[in-house]
Structure 1
Amino acid sequence: MKREIRFGIRALRRRPLLALLAWSIPEALPTALSGLAIAKAMDDGFLAGRPWTGLAWLGAFLLAACLGAWGSRQVFRRLGDLVEPFRDDLLRRVVGGALAHAVAGRRDDGALARVTRQVEIVRDSFAGLIVVTRGFAVTVAGVVLGLLSIDPVIVVLILPPFALGFGAFVATLGLAAARERATVLAEERVGDTANAVLSATRDAVATGTEGHAAALAAEQVEDQAAAERALAWVAVLRTLCFAVGVWLPLVVLLLAAPWLVGRGLTAGAIMGGLTYILMGLNPALQTLVTGVGSSGLQFVVTLGRILDATAPPERPAPLGSGTPSGHDITLDGVTFAYGPHAEPVLDGLDLTVPEGDHLAIVGPSGIGKSTLAGLVCGLLRPGSGSIRVGGAPVTGLPPARLARLRVLIPQEAYVFSGTVWDNLVYLRPSAEESQVNRAVAEVGAENLVTRLGGYPAGLVPAELSAGERQLIALVRAYLSDAPVVILDEATCHLDPVAERRAEEAFAARGGTVVVIAHRVSSALRAKRVLVLDGTEAVAGDPVALRSVSPLYRELLGYWHAEPPVPVN
């Protein structure tokens, strides 16, 4: 329970909380003035034969009630400033936890229920707790101020038994939370057992084990009933705490009335003290006991289950650490699957890409080529095995360090609204115009830049074709300082001539180039080719590979069978 309470307290934002407390001051006026107004109306008004004075005090109390209603309205208007950011943070945690589990290859069947139901339960109960606890604190503060204005001795008589009842209620919260949690778990076990028994009804009847099946369900039902009875006893304890906190102060004040009158306290003052108990402490404690006993327990239990379920999954320990030395790429026994029950996309893959290599990766669609690119770039984590760049594990490198090592251009190139210049130098903001001119010329994007209106021109992504977006992204990658460039079908929307020019530019740029091949020409231009066929991976020279890989020969035949693309 402490964890959930700390989580809720940390979620309170300072500025909205201060605004809420500030508007609580006018809301507390009716409570603070109620007993005093009754005492003055009786002593200085009706009992003194001045009814208009008494009515004036009652009118002042009515005015304070109007101000309190206005304060309450402002409080509820600002409640959302506290509750909605808390809900958003919780949603981010739930969604982030589900994504983290997915990346780790673990199913998270309860994520949808947490997003659609449990987060809303916690949000509503969090708001209820804020309203209840703030209202209780404001009311008690108003009552204490009012009692002090009548006679401090009444505070001494009333507050100790009230504090005793309040403390006893707080002491029951841990027990209540434990029993509420036990009840929820018992309900879940009943559901699981009932589902198992009902799904096996035919087998139970066929084997004559109906009695055993019924006994299994009955045991869980009895456990749930016992948990419900234990929870009901907590409600009895809460009622006793309420009786101690409210009715005991009332009895103490009535029993002390003769003594108070003897020391000079008026009848109106005693009535004012009774008013503070009945109109202030009574509803405040009753609301707190009811609200915290229901919304509070619901908040603790539901939030606890969310926090347990969304704790980040344990990540595999980094296979090594340190600063990369060079940029050679090494994969050792890499296995990856999109889920714990899915077939591996890559299984035990061993691969070495030395510095300065130009590697083309080929294979049927869906065989794992883009997955391999994501693994090398550190966007995916292998289920087993290691991936190293420059001798350092990719999984152990911070994102900023990885970004300086490699650049990935996917098939659907990303272009943002802004100037042409901003799009081109995004990965190298300090680039000089001469460097940008050279990159544009090498990749073959001069005509495109001219058509767009030059570097200062505004760029609207929706107005570009897929091929034009790829050219922008290719220039951006060429300008990057990253020594490893991975082109994941990054030229598939270009014609063969433009594709050849771009790939040759990257090969001459220096560094390592890995191309997910879209056409046979990409494979034939590479120094080496990696063939993925779903069962094994074969790498070698583009020519020599024909004699050892039937799939490569088949792909070459398929590519050559395509009608030639006319070049203008």
Structure 2
Amino acid sequence: MPPAAASLLWRALTRQPRLLVRLGAWSLAEAAPALAGGTAVAHAVDDGFAAGRPGTGLAWVAVPAVAWLLAAVAARQVMLAVAAVVEPFRDELLETVVTGALRAGHGDTAAVARMNHQVELARDAFAAIITVVRSFAFTLVGVALGIATLAPAVLPVVLPPVLAGLLLFLLSLPTLARRQRDVILADEATAEAVSAMAGGLRDITACGAESRAAERVGGEVVRQARAAGALAAVTAARTLTLAVGGGLPVLLLLAFTPWLLDRGLTGGVVLGALTYVMQSLTPALGGLIQGLGVSGVRLAVTLDRILGAAAPAPPRGDRTPDGVRLELRGVRFAYGPAAEPVIDDLDLVVAEGEHLAVVGPSGIGKSTLAALVTGVLTPGRGEVLLGGVPAAEVTPGARALIPQEAYVFHGSLTENLTYLAPDATPEEVDEAVALFGLAEPARRCGGRDAPLDPAALSAGERQLVALARTYLSPARLVVLDEATSHLDPAAEARAEAAFAARGGTLVVIAHRISSALRARRVLVMDGARVTAGTHDELVSASPLYADLVGHWEGGPPMGTLAAGAVAEDAEVAPGRRPQPTALGGDLDRLDA
């Protein structure tokens, strides 16, 4: 287990020493049947039924019943004490997840929700581990004391195989944890591949990529099956462990019965010893093996994933770039050490002041590229430079990423628009309101300075607020990651034209092919290769681009779209028309 996870668990256990004392006291009471059961059976047989005194025998039989009543009361208190330990642990773990997400500087609410689910799994697993470890420890001590009191000669027969079985199990735990982690990762990879395929069926069909999609999903299924088989092989060790620790003591006790009888032990004592082993020790050992083998491994894997995902992001710098020329040099990125790269060996240059559109099928890596460009993600290999400065170290005010789901906070419209530009003049705010068509939402809400309820805005209006906010900001690199997906084509065209005329560098993750027609240059991501060029050049150079133009949203033929782009592009100064350039890249993984 990683040191950070071990430290977290240790703090949870030692946070309230008095609580541990209370837990131990009630656990001792809960272990009363394990301590008294065998002795009561031995006396019931020898002093009662075998001696012709059934009343005495029944009185001894009543002893375990009383012990079980005490254990039932204690079990409730134990559960309350365990909850008092694990709930603060859950709160601390949840705080770690949320803090890590905030430090990462992104709003992937789906990822945070998944981590919250992992927190609940960790809490339940931790509670199960405390329960089974505590139960086994007190049961083992109770059985050992009971046998030592009843017949010390039985201890060398019973305890060694129990300890040997326990040792075998503990030795198998690291391998079991690794195999369990492999299964979890393989299962998630399969779900991711299937989800990407299901969400991109239209694009897959349009691009004729059915065989490739089937190969990818089939490969993940095969890897998951192999991981499950490897886990099953290691899990079989638990059966061996239980056979050694739980079954062998019974066999040895029966085998040594003649020897024990020769040493003066009675049949009642042997039966009592068997009761200790079969009714208390073996179930406790089985519970420990099951609990640690499932909940323990789950806790280790889950904590590893939670703490890894919630680790603070690399420290962000505050370096001012020299311009906004964007360069990607040999960039490689994968979501995890064992994952296939989403982006591999990508070289790209976006000149200062350029308007670039990025197109490609769903799940091809466009949003990942946007996150790398703005420094939200850092490449595993290569570098992303903005004005000569690594993207992750650029001062936040120099670049802006607008995702598909726009955020509008409670406050006035003016406060929302000037959040990134507190020095904006009223005239500049008026210009942004007019450019992005926010006059009507402002009027409906009672004016620009009236309280604004985000829920009263449509998804498209929230996107307009986010766009206008960024328009007023000092950011000279703006990345629109499908930030106009809820707008109609005319509003989308106005927004992109406004940013293009504003100056600086504009990168648009295209939602409609018309965004590519308005750009000076287009980047086509098709998984096997990445190609850059103008619209006209790419229609001839990239079959995928030509297919996307012809099939996008079931729109009009390619020539009609191209002709319609001329008028829209009239507001944007024409840029250079570089020749299409094949750029290295294997971008066939799902976007973050």
1:206-355 equivalent positions in 2, closer than 5 A:
209-316=209-316, 335-337=395-397, 341-342=401-402
Q: 1:86 to 1:55 in 2, by over 3 A?
A: same
Question: CA offset at residue 234 of structure 1?
Answer: 2.3
Which runs of structure 2 are paired with 1:29-428 in the superposition (5 Å)?
A: 29-102=32-105, 109-115=110-116, 117-202=117-202, 204-205=204-205, 209-316=209-316, 335-337=395-397, 341-342=401-402, 366=418, 368-370=420-422
Q: In structure 2, give the amino acid aligned to 1:234.
A: V
CA distance in structure 1 between the partners assigned to 2:304 and 2:197 by the alignment: 29
Taking the aligned partners of 1:90 and 1:202, their CA distance within structure 2 comes to: 40
The Cα of 1:204 is off from its aligned counterpart by 4.7
**Contact 1:261–1:267 under 8 Å retained in 2:** yes
Deviation at 1:139, TM superposition (A): 0.7
Deviation at 1:211, TM superposition (A): 3.1
Q: What do residues 536-565 of structure 1 show as CA deviations (whole Å, max 9, x unaligned)?
A: 99xxxxxxxxxxxxxxxxxxxxxxxxxxxx
Shift of residue 173, structure 1, vs aligned partner = 1.0
> Which whole-Å CA distance do the structure 1 matches of 2:240 and 2:472 have between them?
73
Give the equivalent residue in structure 1 for 2:369.
Answer: none
Secondary structure of the structure 2 residue equivalent to 1:162 = helix
Does the CA contact (< 8 Å) of 1:94 and 1:114 recur in 2? yes
The question of whether the paired residues in 1 share the 8 Å contact of 2:38 and 2:272 is answered with yes
The letter for the 2-side match of 1:45 is G
Deviation at 1:106, TM superposition (A): 7.6
Cα deviation per residue 1:215-252 (whole Å; 9 max; x = unaligned)?
Answer: 22211101101111111122211111111111101101
CA distance in 2, matches of 1:241, 1:363: 65
- What amino acid maps onto 2:40 in structure 1? A
Shift of 1:96: 1.6
Deviation at 1:28?
A: 1.1
Aligned equivalents of 2:291 and 2:475: distance in 1?
63
Instruction: Give how far 1:535 is off.
Output: 5.5
Local SS of the residue matching 1:314: coil
Return 182-191 or 249-258, whichever deviates more: 182-191
Look up the equivalent residue of 2:173 and give its one-letter code. Answer: L
Q: Give the direction of change, closer, same or farther, for the CA distance of 1:87–1:533 in structure 2 (3 Å limit).
A: closer
Q: Deviations over 1:363-396 (max 9, x none)?
A: 9951734499xxxxxxxxxxxxxxxxxxxxxxxx
Whole-Å separation in 1 of the counterparts to 2:61 and 2:416: 87
Q: Hey, what's the Cα distance between the residues in 1 that align with 2:157 and 2:423? A: 74
Task: Label 1:179 to 1:371 Cα distance change in 2 as closer, same or farther (>3 A).
Answer: farther
Structure 1 alignment gaps of length 5 or more: 320-332, 344-361, 373-488, 490-531, 538-568
In 2, Cα distance between the equivalents of 1:147 and 1:338? Answer: 75
Partner Cα separation in structure 1 for residue 155 and residue 66 of structure 2 = 26
* Deviation digits for residues 485-527 of structure 1 (CA, Å, limit 9, x no counterpart): xxxx9xxxxxxxxxxxxxxxxxxxxxxxxxxxxxxxxxxxxxx
Structure 1 residue 335 displacement after superposition: 3.7
**Cα separation, 2, equivalents of 1:536 and 1:231:** 51
Does the CA-based 8 Å contact 1:94-1:111 persist in structure 2?
A: yes
The question of 1:10 aligning with 2:11 is answered: yes
Cα distance in 2 for partners of 1:202, 1:37 equals: 73
Question: Which residue type is aligned with residue 114 of structure 1?
Answer: M
TM-score, length-scaled by structure 2: 0.54
Find the aligned partners of 2:238 and 2:75 in 1 and give their Cα distance. Answer: 27
CA distance in 2, matches of 1:212, 1:267: 72
Letter in 1 for 2:134: R
- Structure 2 unmatched ranges of 5 or more: 320-392, 404-413, 425-448, 450-470, 477-592
Between the aligned partners of 1:371 and 1:80, the Cα distance in structure 2 is 51
1:53 maps to a residue whose letter is: T
Matched residue of 1:368: which SS?
coil
Structure 1: distance between partners of 2:199 and 2:33:
61
Contact between 1:177 and 1:300, CA under 8 Å: does it hold in 2?
yes
Contact 1:107 1:340 in 2 (8 A): no
Q: How many residues align?
A: 349
Q: Matched residues in 2 for 1:93 and 1:60: separation?
A: 49
Change (3 A) 1:338 1:65: farther
1:174-221 superposed Cα distances (whole Å, 9 cap, x missing partner): 111101110111112112222333445455545655333322221110
Question: Is this contact kept in 2: 1:97–1:311, CA < 8 A?
Answer: yes
1:94 Cα deviation (Å)?
Answer: 1.5
Report how far residue 293 of structure 1 moved: 1.7
Superposed displacement of residue 44, structure 1: 1.3
Assess if the C-alpha contact under 8 Å between 1:32 and 1:145 holds in 2.
yes
Q: Structure 1 counterpart of 2:262, which letter?
A: G
* AA matched with 2:210: E
Query: What is the one-letter code of the residue matched to 1:28?
Result: A
Is 2:250–2:274's contact at 8 Å kept on the other side of the alignment?
A: yes
Greater gyration radius: 1
The 3 A distance-change label for structure 1 pair 340 and 247 is farther
Q: Distance in 1 between matches of 2:97 and 2:54?
A: 63
SS at match of 2:401: coil
> Offset of 1:112 from its aligned partner?
2.4
Q: Secondary structure at the match of 1:265?
A: coil
Conserved? CA contact 1:107–1:339, under 8 Å: no
1: CA distance, partners of 2:399 / 2:78:
47
Kept after mapping to 1: 8 A contact 2:31/2:71: yes
Which amino acid letter does the alignment assign opposite residue 72 of structure 2? A
CA distance in 1 between partners of 2:81 and 2:415 (Å): 59
Paired AA for residue 366 in structure 1: T
**Offset of residue 158 of structure 1:** 0.5
- The verdict on how the C-alpha distance between 1:273 and 1:2 changes in structure 2, with shifts beyond 3 A counting, is farther
SS in 1 for 2:98: helix
**1: distance between equivalents of 2:258 and 2:82?**
46
> Which TM-score applies when normalising by structure 1?
0.56
2:411 match: none
Counterparts in 2 of 1:338 and 1:71: CA distance versus 1, 3 Å:
farther
Give the partner amino acid of 2:401. H
CA contact (8 A) 1:38 1:58 kept: yes
Secondary structure of 1:49 counterpart: coil
CA distance in 2, matches of 1:245, 1:305: 32
1:184 is aligned with what amino acid?
A: I
Task: Give the aligned residue type for 2:32.
Answer: L
Q: How does 1:406-555 map to 2 (within 5 A)?
A: 534=473
| Kept in 2: contact 1:144–1:155 (CA 8 A) | yes
Deviations 1:316-351 (A, max 9, x none): 4799xxxxxxxxxxxxx98424986249xxxxxxxx
Q: Structure 1 residues 339, 112: CA separation in 2 closer, same or farther (over 3 Å shift)?
A: farther
